[in-house]
Structure 1
Amino acid sequence: MTKVYPNATAASSGSEGVKLCIGGGDPAVLTVWKKSLLFNCSGFTVFDGKGNLVFRVDNYVAGNKGEIVLMDASGKPLLTIRRKRLSLGDNWLVYDGETAANPRFRMRKHLNLLSSKSLARVSGGSSSSMRKAMYEIEGSYSQRCCAVYDERRRCVAEIKRKEAVAGVALGVDVFRLIVQPEMDTPVAMALVILLDQMFR
């Protein structure tokens, strides 16, 4: 049976269509499985390069798109993602832990038809930092081929399709998230969750 989590040979394959991220230090290479470990739940299960559980998302109510909690392996809430109510477009707020005050950042789906490369824009959580983009996400989430760029246009994270060692494609429900040291890994995973909500 094909293993879901990555290994050294699978993690070193090149990118297709998205600029390879280059940064100082080793990137974190995670395997994201779009499946909850709990029965009858939707969500995500995320493994590191050694097959250890790193993050999980368990949505108990299949229709609940209003709030999602990103947890560590032990179930401790790291970030809470909430849909912004009464707003035009697809807007989401991300909070530390389970708090409901002072969002850490916000993400908005890009709606400009002239610039089809851009999927979403991430900006600061406060109203004063809302206009300044922290990250821009480009590519195709449905093809699991995306890059996250910071305000200096450095590629700080990538989403790529994952292949098994024998070259067998695992489909779009299992993919890699490669996070450079310049980006917080839970934040990168929150962006994946948000892309999944926006581009179902």
Structure 2
Amino acid sequence: MQKLGVVDSWVVYEGEVMKGKHGTRKNPICCVRKHTNMLKLLGNPNPNVKAYVYNGGSDKRYAYAIEGSYAQRMCKVLDETRRVVAEIKRKEALREHVSFGIEIFHLVVHPGFDPAFAMALVLLLDQM
């Protein structure tokens, strides 16, 4: 992962290929841009968006939107058709008076979505 500039934007790479003295990066897997409050002021149609995920290095059309509150461990990753592909949920106790705290949560990955990619998004959300 690499954070870019003053804008809350990260580029995710699969890894690095070592060629020569300084190494060469592979093409990016995705770019993640944090939603800013300024968009809300400009009439953003969905103020619940935490971040947008773009395929590769492109920023023309997002592939996924992350909605909800990562701080509360309640958010969803939605594809461009608004289908939920992954979710972060707080772990709830089956018995009364048991608290797991905010750091214990479930990452639910729906069929067809890459679990490693879902975990990479969790790591990015933790940095936001």
Q: For the superposition of Structure 1 and Structure 2, which TM-score range results when normalised by the shorter chain?
A: 0.7 to 0.9
Q: Does 1:122 align with 2:53?
A: yes
Task: Tell me the residue number matched to 1:113.
Answer: 40
Q: Does 1:93 align with 2:11?
A: yes
Between the aligned partners of 1:185 and 1:171, the Cα distance in structure 2 is: 23
What is the Cα deviation at residue 130 of structure 1?
Answer: 2.4
Q: Is the 8 A contact 2:3 2:11 kept in 1?
A: yes
5+ residue gaps, structure 1: 1-80
Letter in 1 for 2:3: R
Q: Is the 8 A contact 2:66 2:75 kept in 1?
A: yes
Between the aligned partners of 1:193 and 1:162, the Cα distance in structure 2 is: 18
Task: Tell me the residue number matched to 2:2.
Answer: 82
Between the aligned partners of 2:6 and 2:112, the Cα distance in structure 1 is: 31
Higher relative contact order (CA 8 A, sep 6+): 1
Q: Does 1:131 align with 2:60?
A: yes
5+ residue gaps, structure 2: 18-24
SS at match of 1:104: strand
Between the aligned partners of 1:124 and 1:88, the Cα distance in structure 2 is: 21
Q: State the Cα RMSD in Å.
A: 1.6
Write the deviation string for residues 116-164 of structure 1: whole angstroms up to 9, x where unpaired.
30100000123xx321211000001111000110011101011000023
Moved more, 92-101 or 187-196: 92-101
Q: Does 1:147 align with 2:76?
A: yes
Out of 152, 157, 161, the position equivalent to 2:90 is 161
Between the aligned partners of 2:99 and 2:85, the Cα distance in structure 1 is: 25
With normalisation by structure 1, the TM-score equals: 0.53
Task: Tell me the residue number matched to 1:58.
Answer: none
Higher helix share: 2
How many correspondences in the alignment? 114
CA spacing shift, 1:131–1:88, aligned 2, 3 Å: farther
